[in-house]
Structure 1
Amino acid sequence: MSIDTADFRRALLQADPRLSRFDPLPRIITFDDFDRGHCGWTSLLGNYEGSLDTLLPGYRGMTGPMLSTLSHWDSGSHGSHDGSYALKLATRAQRDALSVGIKRLTFRKPGPVRLEMYFTFKPEATELMLSDRDVRSVGFLFDLQVGDRASRAGQRVMPHLRYLNSRGGELQQKWQFKPGAPTIQDIGSAAETVSHFHLGDNDWQDLPGGGQRLCYNEIATKVNWHYLRFDFDIASMSALSFQCNDREFDLAGFESLRMPAMKNLWCMFNIAMFAQTDVDKRAFLYVDSVCLSGDF
């Protein structure tokens, strides 16, 4: 009796409760379950040369990822989607503050990739109020560059997506993307380092049909986990599909940030996640697990 390879693979995935909640492409590149630690996720630090004073202003004061059991003052430890620990991004308690986590990889073959994760977000529960307007946004991005033997004009491409939850105390509840080309700035005096700040609150555009009301439970210490999937083709540097919970969105109008390839970033494949607060209170993005897969 012959066994169909696809059926056998599907059975293996479904037998593992850690992976069965994902729909990966044929090759799993990385599976990050934060019960095992940080899994390579670290702080995003802007480029500098000679002194940290050369950091662009947007990178100063950024905070990075930590492990968390989602502890709250009223209920103790909430725990993650499946286990005890989640990756936590916590901003400073200052309006507009950002927290960013990044995982730095390279790709071995340009082709379709799929990012899946389970996430949730909340403000710090410093008031006995719903506080659903205190988190401005949470989001993610890829930072990609072609290989050094690419036949076409080399590019660095950065697809960004964020959920704009609130602005100025008014709920927005919609997905946005960031097109265009960032401003590249020289860092230091040796002409060796450049930098650009791409996570500012400017130039975001609404994803067509991107309005979505996510589950935000009744008090600031309750969380509900959301599923997210983003498909991107590195070969064509184009977005393929995007899903959050029960909604799949049209990416026909989606554009990425684009710039000329940089001299030392060949085959770069970085993944980043971020949170931003809208008030003088910390905003939290929690990620239970991340599955990155590819069709190669």
Structure 2
Amino acid sequence: MTESNVTETKIEGLTADTLRKALLLASPELSRFDPLRRIICHDAFSKGHCGWSQLVGNYEGSLDSMLPGYAQHTNAMLSTLGHWEAGSHGGYDSSYALKIATRPVRGAQNVAIKRLTMRQRAPIRFEMYFTFKPEATEPRLSETDVRSVGFLFDLQGGDSDKDAERVMPHLRFLNAADGQHLQKWQFKRETTTFTKLGAENKTESHYHLSNEGWQDLPGGNQRLCYNEIATKVNWSYLRFDFDLAKMRPIAFQCNDRTFDLSQFDSIRIPAMKNLWCMLNFGLFAETDVDKRAFLYVDSICISGDF
């Protein structure tokens, strides 16, 4: 048997799962993630916005009918993580990251969203490398200037599902409030009251990211890396697994910690008439002072077990 035949025999003997893992490990960009069987999207923001855009609120007749929470939002940017000391920090392994920046007003929020639809009701995995910091406008640590950063899903079953509902898992890292360094993960079960917009009775809106209604995740205290001055950053890893068939969470991890989700639940509201098979993902930041807060995301991998 020739050497080439031996090599062919070894390759033929490998399982599909082994080959898949080998290909993932051979990719510097993908090997930092642990995706499920099928990669839905891999967003490396060195390539561009990758479909992440401003969360624009509903309106009818005029932009002035938009709820104030949404009216404050601006579009996500591509950033080199510039600062006044040394120029640019750069991304995880490139020059750019996605930047979600608030306005410089205490309590201001901003949200970026990626809008997809689901092809199968199966477990999915959301992974990202992220960091956060306040705008470095003064030579001090400013570790309590960012109130929170987080992510959300906005999901709805298919138009043939008799029990379809709109399900919105929310998780945030509450870094600080009123100057107190809290550093804990929280989730949300309830949204705000729906408001009718316009005169045609076709559009309504709710601001589900309001600061009310957040609950502490059991055992959710975590001290994330925040470097010695406000211009420095360190990247953190996050993973959230969710079952689209059962509409329930499976697992949550940030860096070296995994968290108990037995008390976790999502915002649940009746299905809406035009959002079938919705599979949306959101990223958000909030400031606790009159200074901009920045959430930076280097890359995201969303995968599914189908």
TM-score, normalising length: structure 1: 0.99
Cα distance, 1:291 vs. partner?
0.2
Partner Cα separation in structure 1 for residue 41 and residue 58 of structure 2: 26
Partner Cα separation in structure 2 for residue 164 and residue 64 of structure 1: 23
Cα distance, 1:82 vs. partner?
1.4
User: Which of 268, 271, 274 does residue 278 from structure 2 map onto?
Assistant: 268
Contact 1:168–1:278 under 8 Å retained in 2: yes
**Does residue 122 of structure 2 align to residue 122 of structure 1?**
no
The match for 1:97 is 108
Contact 1:182–1:257 under 8 Å retained in 2: no
Alpha-carbon displacement from aligned partner over 1:107-163 (angstroms, at most 9, x marks no partner):
001110000000000000001000000000000000000000013x22000000000
Partner Cα separation in structure 2 for residue 132 and residue 161 of structure 1: 20
> Secondary structure of 1:35's match?
coil
Aligned pairs (5 A) from 1:165-244: 165-244=175-254
Where in structure 2 are there 5+ consecutive unaligned residues?
1-8
Partner Cα separation in structure 2 for residue 86 and residue 198 of structure 1: 26
Cα distance, 1:181 vs. partner?
4.7
Partner Cα separation in structure 2 for residue 184 and residue 81 of structure 1: 40
Alpha-carbon displacement from aligned partner over 1:84-117 (angstroms, at most 9, x marks no partner):
1000011110000111100000000111000000
Letter in 1 for 2:194: I
CA RMSD after TM alignment: 0.7
Letter in 1 for 2:235: W
The match for 2:256 is 246
Partner Cα separation in structure 1 for residue 233 and residue 50 of structure 2: 23
Contact 1:122–1:220 under 8 Å retained in 2: yes
Cα distance, 1:182 vs. partner?
3.8
Higher-Rg member (1/2) = 2
TM-score, normalising length: structure 2: 0.95
**Does residue 58 of structure 2 align to residue 67 of structure 1?**
no
Give the % identical residues: 65
Contact 1:120–1:225 under 8 Å retained in 2: yes
Alpha-carbon displacement from aligned partner over 1:226-284 (angstroms, at most 9, x marks no partner):
00000000100001100000000000000100100000000000000000000000000
The match for 1:56 is 67
> Secondary structure of 2:142's match?
coil
Letter in 1 for 2:98: L
> Secondary structure of 1:12's match?
helix
Aligned pairs (5 A) from 1:276-295: 276-295=286-305
Letter in 1 for 2:202: E
The match for 2:3 is none
Partner Cα separation in structure 1 for residue 210 and residue 93 of structure 2: 33
Aligned pairs (5 A) from 1:18-29: 18-29=29-40
Letter in 1 for 2:94: G
> Secondary structure of 2:263's match?
coil
Deviating 4+ runs (over 4 angstroms) = none
The match for 1:110 is 121
Letter in 2 for 1:276: E
